[in-house]
A and B are shown apart, each in its own frame.
Chain A
Amino acid sequence: MQATDPDIQWVEPPKLGLGERMYLPLFLQGLTTTTKHLVSAKVTVSYPDQEPEIDNPLIYRGVHRLNRDEQGRVKCVACFLCATACPAHCIDILGVESPWEDREKYPESFTIDELRCIFCGMCEQACPVDAIELTSLYNLTGRSREEMIFDKEKLLSVYDATKDKEPMKSAQLPPVTTPSTATPSTATSTSPTEGGA
């Protein structure tokens, strides 16, 4: 690329007034900002002495869970859309023909490497059947790497553990077709369960 390249946008720096060139106003401005913060309220949450407050579990992005359908089977249809959307490539699915009459395909195995996951929530957004969701469990720990690779059973057990406090998000969202009658979603539970799943 040359300096004369037409693609280069030449930006003129703003002209400084005399006050700015005196440095003093800017100096004081900087000092005021710092001093204000020096005495303002602190935002740190002293975990684990204090538990963080989760305002809205609907948009909190914690540990994943795999939802169950009405019959208690895994809701996932093994469409791989979450794995496709996942920027960290941490979802691994093995899709096979399902053993059930009314369903065509299901995940024989479904693993998420929680260590690789960046908790972006893309999987949740991608899922066409609302099968994968991010709960508000934030205290995720483990003693080995293997332990942090969640398989289908573990992900389903996260659902079992959290379903009462956090109903499926699709159930909480207002129906799209009739916005007039929709009740605003009420984020009921805020305190997370102890120790995760």
Chain B
Amino acid sequence: MAIVLIDGQEIEIGDDERLNGIQVAARAGVEVPHYCWHPGLSVVASCRMCLVETGKRDADSGEISMLPKLVPGCQTPARDGTVFVTDSEKVRQARAMVEEDLLIRHPVDCPICDKAGECHLQDYHFEHGRPERRADIKPFHSRRRELGETVTLFVDRCVMCTRCVRFTREVSGDAELMVVHRGAHEEIDVFPGFPLENKLSGNVVDLCPVGALGDLDFLYSQRVWFMKQHASVCAGCSTGCSIQVEENQDRIHRLKPRENPHVNQWWMCDEGRYGWKYVHDNARCLAPQQKTEGAWQPLDWSDAPAVLHAALSGENCSPENSPPKNSNPKKRRLAAVLSPFLTVEEAYLLATYIRQYDENAVLALGRIPQAGADESFPNGFTIRAEKCPNRRGVEMLLSALTGDVLSWESFLEQAAETPFDAVWITGGYPPVNGNDGAGEDVASEEEKSLATELPAGLASSTLIVQDLFDSALWRQADIQLPSAAFVERSGSFVNAGNRLQSFEWAIRPPAGVMTEGQLYWRLLDRDGLYNARRVLEDVAREHIAFAAASGEIPATGRDLLLNQLV
């Protein structure tokens, strides 16, 4: 057990922990300002913002001897007896000096800088800078240079922390960015003809402590202080990156990665980062409809329980009375397809609902969208080929409920052999002509065919389809229920590494759409509003595979294989 002194405060750190001054200070609740150091990148100690006084306490005598010079906290390891002083006059002077130096050549065009409001230069200047400017330099506009399809560089706003350069070298591994020139003329640039284009390029914008790197997608779309942040989970692939949805008045403006050491560290891929556009697509299905005698009739959500009851049991029930439970006198054969876009809670509720009508209802896993192969980056970040967030969760639930996982293909075969009386198919897939951040068409052959023709074997059943976008299935359905996008729903996804992460809705669904959870909640005649937390408690209690999910789920999620003999 090592003891470190921060401003006179004793902090205990573990023996095998390797922390620097900034990190220990953070544990003591002291923030050491820093630009160039980032926990996910190598240490260069070039910005000198984190200068602190350091010294050593003699283990026996308890005497403290300080070093005469200031040292960068980011580069100074904390060992037993290390002493850091972060609030002395000397340190404050040093910080003010660094701030002043940075601002001598800074445009200070904060009013039009997208970073204003979350800019470290601003914040540190308010906190540590000199109250007035001594150099008589008028604010000017920064030069601008495009680095690639996704990122633009405001050259003069850069503080030369080289975080972006190190990121492309150490994390994405493509090393497109570099520092050109020397001394006061240093600039960030790309080599002519080799623009910044890798699948993690958007991260450099988050990394940049100032407004030098701008996200072309987000540029000028919203001032940061207008947006509200919601912790969420990316639905782009089965990695399930922890993200932060930033929205204003139910309109998403950007997604940012959220630190999660078990899943995505500090990063996320461009595909996920820019892949939310379909949420605000005008082509989204918005109105529940029902086919009566071959013609589409609008369906009121309040009538949905009765109509669905009729569709599943084959018996009519007047809309005024709530449908009787567990009544399926005709012994109809039912099936439900649980999409890998459903949350664990929603899948569980839907399965429970279907099984009310038919105890042996067939439950199948929805189609798994695949694109390319898994792609790993030098530091371990992986973009998965499975373009759905919750395959593992639905699989685990299915094997818990049925003892087996019926895939979409086998389900179609079964349906072709003996058609079902009624099938409930859930979707939630992004539009099939979706492309990744770089504009490539990633739709598979199967997706394309699904968009046009109905799988054989489903034609004779009563089809209840719940989906985001129009497709052959949607058009052939007897009851169409619009579904909500992942940012509009609450629940939990289980990623490819069996980590369950819970999230709450970030924006409200468009008018006319009821979220899956709320619909199932109502179908099951539960009171009040859908509460994902309570459903997950039920799942964890009933199914041993989810036992680890009981209790509060931490922000970084919980490993479902924890304490389980696999």
Binds A, one of B5-13, B199-207, B219-227, B341-349: B219-227
Q: B109 near A: Cβ within 8 Å?
A: yes
Q: B64 near A: Cβ within 8 Å?
A: no
- A70 to chain B minimum Cβ distance, whole angstroms, is 16
Q: A105 near B: Cβ within 8 Å?
A: yes
Are A79 and B225 touching (Cβ within 8 A)? no
**Chain B 127-141 residues near chain A, CB threshold 8 A:** 141
Q: A15 near B: Cβ within 8 Å?
A: no
A residues in contact with B192, CB < 8 Å:
none
- B365 to chain A minimum Cβ distance, whole angstroms, is 44
Q: Which of B109, B223, B225 touches A104 (beta carbons < 8 Å)?
A: B109
Contact with B along A75-116 (1 / 0, CB 8 A): 001111100100000000001110000111100000000000
Are A128 and B111 touching (Cβ within 8 A)? yes
Q: A140 near B: Cβ within 8 Å?
A: no
Contact size range, A: 10 to 19
Q: Which of B141, B142, B144, B223 touches A80 (beta carbons < 8 Å)?
A: B223
Contact with A along B106-120 (1 / 0, CB 8 A): 000101100000000
User: Complex: how many Å from CA A97 to CA B154?
Assistant: 13
Residue of A nearest to B221 (CB): A95
A residues in contact with B220, CB < 8 Å:
78, 95-97, 105
A residues in contact with B225, CB < 8 Å:
84
**Chain A 31-89 residues near chain B, CB threshold 8 A:** 77-81, 84
Q: Which of B112, B141, B219 touches A79 (beta carbons < 8 Å)?
A: B112
User: Complex: how many Å from CA A195 to CA B556?
Assistant: 62
A residues in contact with B144, CB < 8 Å:
104
B residues in contact with A104, CB < 8 Å:
109, 112, 141-142, 144
B residues in contact with A77, CB < 8 Å:
111-112
B residues in contact with A129, CB < 8 Å:
111
Contact with A along B439-471 (1 / 0, CB 8 A): 000000000000000000000000000000000
- A91 to chain B minimum Cβ distance, whole angstroms, is 12
User: Complex: how many Å from CA A78 to CA B140?
Assistant: 16
User: Complex: how many Å from CA A95 to CA B220?
Assistant: 6
User: Complex: how many Å from CA A102 to CA B143?
Assistant: 10
Of the candidates B111, B144, B223, the one having the most CB atoms from chain A within 10 angstroms of its own CB is B111
- A69 to chain B minimum Cβ distance, whole angstroms, is 13
Q: Which of B109, B141, B142, B219 touches A102 (beta carbons < 8 Å)?
A: B141
User: Complex: how many Å from CA A102 to CA B112?
Assistant: 13
Residue of B nearest to A81 (CB): B111
**Chain B 378-427 residues near chain A, CB threshold 8 A:** none
Say what secondary structure dominates the interface of chain A: loop
B residues in contact with A96, CB < 8 Å:
220
A residues in contact with B111, CB < 8 Å:
77, 79, 81, 128-129
User: Complex: how many Å from CA A12 to CA B225?
Assistant: 46
- B256 to chain A minimum Cβ distance, whole angstroms, is 20
- B212 to chain A minimum Cβ distance, whole angstroms, is 13
Residue of B nearest to A76 (CB): B111
B residues in contact with A97, CB < 8 Å:
219-220
User: Complex: how many Å from CA A124 to CA B456?
Assistant: 67
Residue of B nearest to A98 (CB): B112
User: Complex: how many Å from CA A77 to CA B113?
Assistant: 11
Are B109 and A84 touching (Cβ within 8 A)? no
Are B223 and A103 touching (Cβ within 8 A)? no
- B214 to chain A minimum Cβ distance, whole angstroms, is 10
A residues in contact with B219, CB < 8 Å:
97
Of the candidates B112, B144, B219, the one having the most CB atoms from chain A within 10 angstroms of its own CB is B112
- B512 to chain A minimum Cβ distance, whole angstroms, is 26
Residue of B nearest to A102 (CB): B141
**Chain A 126-141 residues near chain B, CB threshold 8 A:** 128-129
Contact with A along B215-245 (1 / 0, CB 8 A): 0000110010110000000000000000000
**Chain B 279-302 residues near chain A, CB threshold 8 A:** none
B residues in contact with A105, CB < 8 Å:
112, 220
B residues in contact with A95, CB < 8 Å:
220
Residue of A nearest to B144 (CB): A104
A residues in contact with B226, CB < 8 Å:
80, 84
Residue of B nearest to A106 (CB): B112
Residue of B nearest to A128 (CB): B111
Of the candidates B142, B223, B226, the one having the most CB atoms from chain A within 10 angstroms of its own CB is B223
Residue of B nearest to A108 (CB): B220
Of the candidates A97, A104, A128, A129, the one having the most CB atoms from chain B within 10 angstroms of its own CB is A104
A residues in contact with B141, CB < 8 Å:
102-104
Residue of B nearest to A104 (CB): B112
A residues in contact with B109, CB < 8 Å:
104
User: Complex: how many Å from CA A77 to CA B142?
Assistant: 14
Residue of A nearest to B111 (CB): A79
- B211 to chain A minimum Cβ distance, whole angstroms, is 11
User: Complex: how many Å from CA A79 to CA B219?
Assistant: 12
B residues in contact with A80, CB < 8 Å:
223, 226
B residues in contact with A102, CB < 8 Å:
141
A residues in contact with B112, CB < 8 Å:
77-79, 104-105
**Chain B 80-123 residues near chain A, CB threshold 8 A:** 109, 111-112
User: Complex: how many Å from CA A189 to CA B379?
Assistant: 69
User: Complex: how many Å from CA A96 to CA B219?
Assistant: 8
Q: Which 7 A/B pairs are nearest by Cβ-Cβ distance?
A: A79-B111, A105-B112, A80-B223, A128-B111, A95-B220, A77-B112, A104-B112
23 A-B interface contacts by CB (under 8 A):
A77-B111, A78-B112, A79-B111, A79-B112, A80-B223, A80-B226, A81-B111, A84-B223, A84-B225, A95-B220, A97-B219, A97-B220, A102-B141, A103-B141, A104-B109, A104-B112, A104-B141, A104-B142, A104-B144, A105-B112, A105-B220, A128-B111, A129-B111
What would 7 more interface pairs be, CB under 8 Å, given A80-B223, A84-B225, A105-B112?
A: A78-B112, A78-B220, A79-B111, A84-B223, A103-B141, A104-B141, A129-B111
